[in-house]
């Protein structure tokens, strides 16, 4: 299965970026093979709608889950509509987050965990 983790850097040893919409990178990982690719978040510098742009990138990537620190209401709703489950409150290294996810320790949130414009 493909999942996305928001990341401060371009590899699995980077820290999970705590912001969703303005995350530096999205790491798209195949949880079976642990192969991954890096997507630069071109929307990170948008003056408005960064979370929406980020959600579109995640949806287009085909990921079924996104692991991140915080996610606001608009992104959460858009991701849900696009069939992507959101797991918030994730921190530490990207690799550790993926391992936890594979062990079933991370569960999707029922709603956004921060308000709009939290990551500005």
Cβ distance to other proteins smaller for residue 15 or 46: 46
Nearest to 1 by CA among 71, 75, 69, 84: 84
| SS3 state of residue 62 | coil
| Binding of residue 45 to other proteins (CB under 8 A) | no
Cβ distance to other proteins smaller for residue 33 or 48: 48
CA 61 to chain centre: 11
| Binding of residue 50 to other proteins (CB under 8 A) | yes
Q: Beta-carbon neighbour count of residue 116 at 10 Å?
A: 13
d(CA 48, CA 58): 18
Residue range at the interface with other proteins (CB under 8 A); choices 31-39, 53-61, 87-95, 98-106 = 53-61
Cβ distance to other proteins smaller for residue 33 or 115: 115
| Binding of residue 61 to other proteins (CB under 8 A) | no
Number of H helices, E strands in the chain: 3, 5
| Binding of residue 22 to other proteins (CB under 8 A) | no
Cβ distance to other proteins smaller for residue 33 or 47: 47
Q: 72, 20 in Cβ contact below 8 A?
A: yes
Q: Which residues bind other proteins (CB under 8 A)?
A: 43, 46, 48-50, 52-53, 55-56, 59, 74, 78, 81-83
């Amino acid at each position: 299965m493909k999942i996305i983790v928001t990341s401060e850097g371009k590899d699995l040893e980077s820290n999970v970026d705590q912001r969703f919409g303005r995350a530096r990178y999205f790491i798209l990982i195949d949880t079976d093979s642990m192969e991954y690719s890096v997507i630069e978040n071109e929307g990170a510098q948008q003056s408005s709608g960064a979370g929406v742009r980020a959600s579109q990138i995640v949806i287009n990537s085909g990921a079924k889950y996104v692991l991140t620190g915080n996610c606001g209401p608009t992104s959460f709703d858009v991701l849900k509509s696009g069939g992507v489950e959101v797991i918030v409150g994730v921190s530490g290294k990207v690799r550790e987050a993926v391992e936890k996810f594979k062990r079933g320790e991370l569960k999707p949130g029922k709603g956004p965990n921060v308000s709009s414009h939290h990551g500005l």
